Amino acid sequence: MDLFANGSSPIYYDDLSLKSASSTALSSTANPSELGFDAVLTATIGSLSPIAITPTGTVDFYEGLTYLGSSPVDASGQANIAISGLGIGPHNITANYSGDVNYAASSGMLVQTVADTTPPTISIVNSNQDTGDGILSQGENTNVDITQLLATFSEDVLDPIGNINPDDVTNPSNYSLILDPAFSATPISIDSIVYNAAGRTATVNLNGGLPLDTGTYQFTIQGTPSIQDDQGNRLDGNGDGTGGDDFTLDFRILPDRLPETGFPPGLLSILPKQSETGLFTDLNLRLIIPKLEKDLAIVGVPLTGSGWEINWLGNNAGYLEGTAFPTWSGNTVITGHVNLKSGLPGHFVNIDQLKYGDQIQIVAWGMVHTYSVIETTILAPTDPEAFEHAEQDILTLITCRTYDLESGSYLHRTMVRAVLVSVTE
């Protein structure tokens, strides 16, 4: 007798009577599962037969009437399928076991629920103009003209019609840009937001379309009230997995030009009153140049909307805010006058005499950081080389050179670059 010659009904009935009954139990690795993540469904084929013969055959999986796929029953009597792309809510899943020589067919069911409990995060922020690498990084220093910031979210976020819903991605009050956050905390206008749902990117138009001035900025995207996904999960600004907090990004716009570090030689320069933001901070650090017999206090020169204000530097050496803090890794830029306002030479007048291997020291908190000169060069005032990024501890000294009577300014800058070679007590 050939039971399997065809699928006609009477033979199928005979077939059932000769096989053991099977059962199909369906389970899921995650139920509810998270939107966008796979859950693996397992159909386990069981038997009531006292003789345990491993079932063979295949299992077809359906979501409602939609075929999801098939999988062979393995040596442990199981068939698996990874399901992805299911929308939020409950889904009726059916597993149909084909049966085999020993076992009759059977089916199992499961309600797979998909939920979204993951809050959106900020994947990347870029600027327009672009800083050259497609990202405005945390703590980045740049001198490009920025009129837009572009925030990309990890998932699509709520964008109701209009811009006034407190949770709307296009509501300008969900964003802020603050100039000089530690001192004057001046808000920069957020003009409008354009949201691209496909790219999940909010383009934030700033400052009336004018490029941001030089200075230190903090950009914030609100987690409360919140930019949120369509399930009400609020922005996870700090990326710790829990929503409802702000995203912040600090960056600096540096000047295009190196600072003027000299007054006209031989003339007494009259200074305007020092501005409040231009006040220097005594950093309790000293700059020592043994070859030139210099031992100078280092003061901090704040970065303001008009660049670094160094007119009041006097007999000090000035650390330019925005470059690496002295003795920290990175490129530290320190400036000094070539000519003082009295018209007399300043302390940096002879730094062009420093040669390869000469030493420069920074004394900080009882430690002597010794740097060895690797390069002395003449730069144009707009040359960005002085501010080149460095991973290691680099010290860059700059001052002016070549006073031009006609324009009343210095035509060149002298740059001395040195690398850290030792730290001693």
Structure tokens at 186: 């001046």
**Cα dist from 275 to 84, 271, 272, 311, whole Å:** 61, 11, 9, 11
Q: Which of 44, 118, 154, 226 binds Ca ion (CB under 5 A)?
A: 118
Q: Count the residues of the shown chain that bind Ca ion, applying the rule CB under 5 A.
A: 15
Alpha-carbon distance of 236 to 31, in angstroms, equals 24
Residue 133 engages Ca ion in binding (rule: CB under 5 A): yes
Alpha-carbon distance of 332 to 395, in angstroms, equals 5
Three-class SS state of 290: helix
Minimum CB distance to Ca ion smaller for 215 or for 259: 215
Residue 238 engages Ca ion in binding (rule: CB under 5 A): yes
Rounded to the nearest 5°, which phi and psi values hold at 410? -90, 140
Residue 159 engages Ca ion in binding (rule: CB under 5 A): yes
CB of 227 to Ca ion, least distance (A): 11
Alpha-carbon distance of 221 to 224, in angstroms, equals 9
b (16+ CB within 10 A) / e for 49-78: eeeeeebbbebbbbeeeeebeebebeeebb
Residue 131 engages Ca ion in binding (rule: CB under 5 A): yes
CB of 160 to Ca ion, least distance (A): 5
Report the residue number whose CB is nearest to Ca ion. Answer: 131
First to last CA, the chain: 99
Cβ distance 348 to 318 under 8 Å? no
Q: Which of 98, 170, 216, 414 binds Ca ion (CB under 5 A)?
A: 170
CB of 156 to Ca ion, least distance (A): 9
Minimum CB distance to Ca ion smaller for 168 or for 358: 168
Three-class SS state of 233: coil
Residue 245 engages Ca ion in binding (rule: CB under 5 A): yes
b (16+ CB within 10 A) / e for 291-318: ebebebbbbbbbbbbebbbbbbbbebbb
Of 16-24, 167-175, 308-316, 320-328, the window that binds Ca ion (rule: CB under 5 A) is 167-175
Residue 321 engages Ca ion in binding (rule: CB under 5 A): no
Q: Which of 26, 59, 106, 116 binds Ca ion (CB under 5 A)?
A: 116
Minimum CB distance to Ca ion smaller for 47 or for 201: 201
Residue 309 engages Ca ion in binding (rule: CB under 5 A): no
Minimum CB distance to Ca ion smaller for 173 or for 315: 173
CB of 366 to Ca ion, least distance (A): 37
Residue 240 engages Ca ion in binding (rule: CB under 5 A): yes
Please give the order of strands across the beta sheet that includes 175-179: 140-142, 247-253, 215-221, 175-179, 186-188
Q: Which of 242, 269, 281, 329 binds Ca ion (CB under 5 A)?
A: 242
b (16+ CB within 10 A) / e for 321-352: bbbbebbeeebbbbbbbbbbbeeeebbbbbbb
Q: Segment 347-366, which members bind Ca ion (CB under 5 A)?
A: none
Minimum CB distance to Ca ion smaller for 101 or for 135: 135
Q: Segment 247-266, which members bind Ca ion (CB under 5 A)?
A: none
CB of 217 to Ca ion, least distance (A): 14
Q: Which of 229, 309, 358, 393 binds Ca ion (CB under 5 A)?
A: 229
Residues that bind Ca ion (CB under 5 A): 116, 118, 131, 133, 135, 159, 168, 170, 229, 233, 236, 238, 240, 242, 245
